[in-house]
Amino acid sequence: MLLARDGHEVVLLDRAHFPSDTISTHWIVRPGIELLEGWGLLDRVVATGCPPIDRVRVSFGTTVIDGMPSTRGGEPATTYAPRRTVLDEILLDAAIAAGVRVHTGIGIRDVLTEEDGRVTGVTGQDETGASVEFEADLVIGADGRNSTVARAVGAGFVADRGALAATLYGYWAGLPADGAEVRVGEGLGSSRWPTNDGLVVLALTVPRQALLGSRAGVAEVYRQVLASMPELASELAGAELSGRVHGAANLRNFYRQSHGPGWVLVGDAAHHKDPIGSRGISDAFADAEGVVRAYTSARSGRVPLERALERHRALRAAATAATFDFICRQAALTPVDEETMRLMRAVAADPAATGQLVSVFAGSARIEDFFAPANLDRILAGAAATSR
């Protein structure tokens, strides 16, 4: 969509047909919401009736941090969690309106290359089994964490923390959700937020072994884990599961080599982290915008494409490093240590710190600013002064 709006000729190939319910719990945190707004698409998301999320509640055992996230300018940092069937349709319609030629039902199998290794297009198959071939001066692999384009060009991992956790989720009718709620438990996390059609998505982050090592199906593991959470029992008693339970355990945390002659990877294909941080969609949007900026500046002759893409890669690495690290620590599901609990109790007792931390979860404040030593000292000193 962005490339076409910039006047470039774009062909979009996807093996899926849309609307497609991609596996995702789809909370779009603040940077993603601001990009949607900038692209003129947020109104369309809101018009689907997807409820706004204005409040974030994070629980560490009995310590609850509950507040209204805000932007740097002090405005409410409203976010949304539209179903992927809804979001992807809006994005696809906007791409078509911008002039993108869309072909669905086409699975990419490989890339076309010249003798010097430069990528010049892709090959694939349509649903009749017929081979297809498309040439391009830039192949953009926006094909997710198990990217075929990455494999075809031999893009290796430049950082790899492995798969740390598994996620299970389902949609509930009649489950209360006043904003987003995240619970950090012993070796287990849960989160929920409202989405389209009056439903609430309730996700569980569990050790991978809980899913991979069980002979029970995804739905049964989900029910068993929920049954082990007495804090949810009374709310779930009045709620009903709608549709099937989804699960994913192959959630590797990595950065890949993300560009080379004639190709670039975008979104999860380039950089993937556990969904526990709800960053994937926002990061994929930001990545798309960065790649388009690089391509457009190269086409205007200001800078060679390789250099523009390398600059974008370096900016993305710098912008996402602290969050990647934070997410990997969360996804390891190690018990929360006493030092962190002391900090969380101090945050819960301090309205300014509460605002800051819930804004980190909503993506409107930076994790590295929250964990800056001077900020932590201020929060802990405030708590010490109050307890004297």
Ligand X SMILES: Cc1cc2nc3c(=O)[nH]c(=O)nc-3n(C[C@H](O)[C@H](O)[C@H](O)COP(=O)(O)OP(=O)(O)OC[C@H]3O[C@@H](n4cnc5c(N)ncnc54)[C@H](O)[C@@H]3O)c2cc1C
The answer to whether 125 touches 106, Cβ cutoff 8 Å, is: yes
Query: What tokens were used for 186?
Result: 């012993």
CA neighbor of 191 nearest in space, from 209, 174, 179: 179
SS3 362: coil
Query: Which segments of 174-290 are extended strands (E)?
Result: 180-185, 188-194, 199-207, 240-248, 252-256, 259-260, 263-265, 271-272
CA pair distance 253, 57, nearest whole angstrom: 26
Between 89 and 235, name the residue whose CB sits nearer to ligand X. 89
167 is an interface residue for ligand X by CB under 6 A: yes
> In the range 283-312, which residues lie near ligand X by CB under 6 A?
284
Q: How far is the CB of 372 from ligand X (least distance, A)?
A: 25
Q: Which residues contact 167 (CB under 8 A, 6 or more apart)?
A: 25, 203, 204, 205, 206, 247, 248, 251, 274, 275, 276
Q: Which of the stretches 172-180, 207-215, 281-289, 332-340 binds ligand X when contact is defined by CB under 6 A?
A: 281-289
179 is an interface residue for ligand X by CB under 6 A: no
Q: What angle do CA 156, 158, 161 make, to 5 degrees?
A: 105
Q: How far is the CB of 20 from ligand X (least distance, A)?
A: 6
Among 170, 179, 194, 275, binds ligand X (CB under 6 A): 275
Q: Which residues contact 6 (CB under 8 A, 6 or more apart)?
A: 292, 296
Q: Which of the stretches 20-28, 45-53, 254-262, 340-348 binds ligand X when contact is defined by CB under 6 A?
A: 20-28
Between 34 and 268, name the residue whose CB sits nearer to ligand X. 268
Q: How far is the CB of 83 from ligand X (least distance, A)?
A: 11
- Residues making up the chain, counted from first to last: 388
Among 5, 6, 8, 23, binds ligand X (CB under 6 A): 23
67 is an interface residue for ligand X by CB under 6 A: no
348 is an interface residue for ligand X by CB under 6 A: no
Q: How far is the CB of 323 from ligand X (least distance, A)?
A: 12
CA neighbor of 263 nearest in space, from 306, 308, 307, 317: 306
> In the range 143-162, which residues lie near ligand X by CB under 6 A?
143-144, 148
27 is an interface residue for ligand X by CB under 6 A: yes
190 is an interface residue for ligand X by CB under 6 A: no
141 is an interface residue for ligand X by CB under 6 A: no
183 is an interface residue for ligand X by CB under 6 A: no
194 is an interface residue for ligand X by CB under 6 A: no
Q: How far is the CB of 382 from ligand X (least distance, A)?
A: 32
Any idea which residue has 């994937």 for tokens? Answer: 280
- The 3-state DSSP composition of the chain as helix, strand, coil percent (nearest 5) reads 40, 25, 30
Residues forming the site for ligand X (CB under 6 A): 13-16, 22-28, 107-108, 142-144, 148, 167, 248, 251, 267-269, 275, 278-282, 284
